[in-house]
């Protein structure tokens, strides 16, 4: 296996700037040709947008705008360059939000991440990302195919069967959320089964240092990426483990939350991404995530900018067990129950597992009354704690994250 995925990873700063000056005006023009981005970028001279600094003059596209556009022009809100039937897949994420996908080589650019993690020909990847409606499973399968690895499309759940399949097939790598691999390993220990997994590529949640060390102690190298369903891979770790290197198919800005104004390198702000994917040209798409650009380049030799990784949310939206929980979902739960005054979702950790506790202000005394409604609205199971009206802090928070990311 060669050290780098391609020559793009080791370009000089001057060459990367020259390539961007060529590619960015083309992408802006493609975006303007779509109904959705065309409205956002009306009057913009694409030929004058040739650098990251030039992007700052353009408006930020927020996910709420994308959702609104999709409700008017289903399924992609007029933001895709291709007709719906020209895509290979159409996905539905919570919201609902629809995302396109294709099976062309490394369409989501996950192959670059898997290659940096040492996965390639001869590997068999146990892909435990969901294949049900959401794109994560296909994103990682597409990346595995790009590097020549075979795939066990395992999805989520049925842990005992996962253990047996991993043993029988001889899986050498894992793809999935950070903590599910530990569940598989614990089940394998319980069953007395020895697995051959030595590499793990994870996303969809925080990889805590203690969990990474747990895997290292088991002889498993674990690397994480930062990706979204809309944009594909944005940044990824290499063996250097010094921040996350920006993918070559996106342009990333860090802006002051609530604005489109770039902040100085090193300052924490919201991640805004311009995708260079010609099929789905999202320009200055606000992720809602917080991060910061690091100075210098990675010791691994990859020359693109690095970010510090995921550092929280610019709003109260929080990822728990690999799924986003949004304030509007909490509001939808409260609206279902006249006797509920307020509710607060609390994210915490027990060992290496995410735990969601929902504190509900109500005079009711039976937590079971709310379990089904919470699953319908939040799409996750969690602990239910009933408290008297007036108990929750009057601070405007409906989602509180108590997990430490140090």
Tokens of 404: 């430490």
Long-range contacts: 41-47, Cβ < 8 Å, 24+?
A: 41/283
| 3-state SS, residue 54 | helix
Distance CA 250, CA 245 (A): 11
DSSP string, 215-256: HHHTT-EEEEEEEETTTEEEEE--TT-SSEEEPTTEEEEEE-
Q: Which of 66-80, 95-109, 205-219, 384-398 has the lowest mean pLDDT?
A: 384-398
Q: What is the pTM of this model?
A: 0.80
Q: Which residues contact 26 (CB under 8 A, 6 or more apart)?
A: 46
CA 165 to chain centre: 27
Strand runs labelled E in 50-88: none
Residue 59 DSSP code:
P
Distance CA 354, CA 27 (A): 39
Query: 50 vs 2, which has greater pLDDT?
Result: 50
Q: Check if the beta carbon of residue 250 is closer than 8 Å to that of residue 228.
A: no
CA 136 to chain centre: 9
Q: pLDDT at position 406, please? A: 63
Q: Which residues contact 339 (CB under 8 A, 6 or more apart)?
A: 362, 363, 364
Residue 61 DSSP code:
B
Position 314 pLDDT exceeds 80: no
Q: pLDDT at position 268, please? A: 87
Q: What is the pLDDT of residues 285-310, one digit of tens each?
A: 999 888 999 999 999 999 999 999 88
Q: pLDDT at position 107, please? A: 98
Mean pLDDT of the chain: 94
As a whole number, mean pLDDT of residues 225-247 equals 97
Distance CA 140, CA 222 (A): 15
Q: pLDDT at position 395, please? A: 66
Q: pLDDT at position 313, please? A: 76
Position 383 pLDDT exceeds 90: yes
Distance CA 124, CA 121 (A): 8
Q: Check if the beta carbon of residue 113 is closer than 8 Å to that of residue 310.
A: no
As a whole number, mean pLDDT of residues 173-200 equals 97
Q: pLDDT at position 316, please? A: 76
Task: Please calculate the CA angle 43-44-50 and round it to the nearest 5 degrees.
Answer: 170
Q: pLDDT at position 70, please? A: 96
Distance CA 127, CA 174 (A): 6
Find the radius of gyration of the CA atoms of the chain. 22
Query: 396 vs 323, which has greater pLDDT?
Result: 323
Distance CA 8, CA 355 (A): 40
Distance CA 136, CA 145 (A): 14
384 has which bridge partners? Answer: 358
Distance CA 397, CA 379 (A): 20
Distance CA 406, CA 403 (A): 9
Tokens of 381: 């199971």
**CA torsion, points 144, 209, 304, 277, in degrees to nearest 10?**
40
């Amino acid at each position: 296996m060669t050290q780098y995925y391609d020559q793009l990873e080791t370009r000089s700063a001057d060459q990367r700037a020259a390539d961007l000056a060529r590619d960015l005006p083309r992408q802006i023009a493609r975006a303007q040709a779509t109904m959705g981005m065309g409205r956002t970028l009306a009057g913009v001279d694409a030929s004058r947008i040739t650098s990251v600094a030039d992007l700052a003059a353009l408006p930020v596209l927020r996910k709420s705008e994308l959702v609104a556009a999709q409700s008017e022009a289903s399924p992609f809100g007029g933001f895709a360059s291709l007709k719906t039937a020209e895509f290979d897949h159409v996905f539905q994420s919570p919201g609902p939000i629809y995302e396109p996908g294709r099976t062309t080589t490394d369409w989501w650019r996950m192959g670059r991440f898997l290659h940096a993690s040492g996965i390639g020909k001869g590997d068999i990847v146990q892909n435990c990302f969901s294949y049900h409606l959401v794109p994560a499973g296909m994103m990682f399968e597409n990346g595995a195919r790009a590097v020549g690895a075979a795939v066990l499309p395992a999805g989520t759940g049925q842990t005992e069967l996962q253990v047996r399949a991993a043993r029988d097939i001889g899986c050498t790598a894992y793809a999935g959320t950070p903590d599910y691999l530990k569940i598989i390993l614990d089940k394998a220990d319980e069953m007395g089964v020895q697995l051959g997994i030595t590499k793990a590529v994870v996303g969809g949640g925080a990889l805590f240092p203690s969990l990474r060390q747990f895997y290292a102690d088991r002889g498993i190298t674990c690397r994480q990426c930062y990706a979204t369903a809309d944009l594909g891979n944005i940044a990824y770790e290499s063996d250097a483990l010094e921040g996350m290197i920006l993918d070559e198919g996106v342009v990333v800005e860090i802006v002051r939350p609530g604005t489109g104004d770039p902040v100085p390198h090193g300052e924490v702000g919201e991640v805004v991404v311009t995708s260079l994917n010609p099929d789905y040209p999202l320009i200055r798409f606000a992720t809602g995530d917080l991060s910061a650009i690091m100075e210098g380049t990675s010791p691994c030799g990859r020359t693109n900018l690095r970010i510090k990784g995921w550092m929280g949310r610019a709003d109260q939206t929080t990822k728990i067990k690999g799924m986003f929980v949004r304030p509007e979902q909490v509001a939808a739960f409260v609206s279902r129950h006249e006797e509920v005054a307020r509710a607060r979702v609390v994210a915490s950790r027990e060992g290496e597992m995410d735990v969601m506790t929902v504190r509900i202000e109500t005079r009711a005394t039976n937590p079971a009354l709310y379990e089904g409604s919470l699953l319908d609205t939040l799409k996750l199971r969690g602990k239910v704690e009933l408290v008297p009206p007036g108990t929750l802090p009057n601070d405007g928070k409906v989602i509180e994250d108590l997990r430490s990311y140090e």
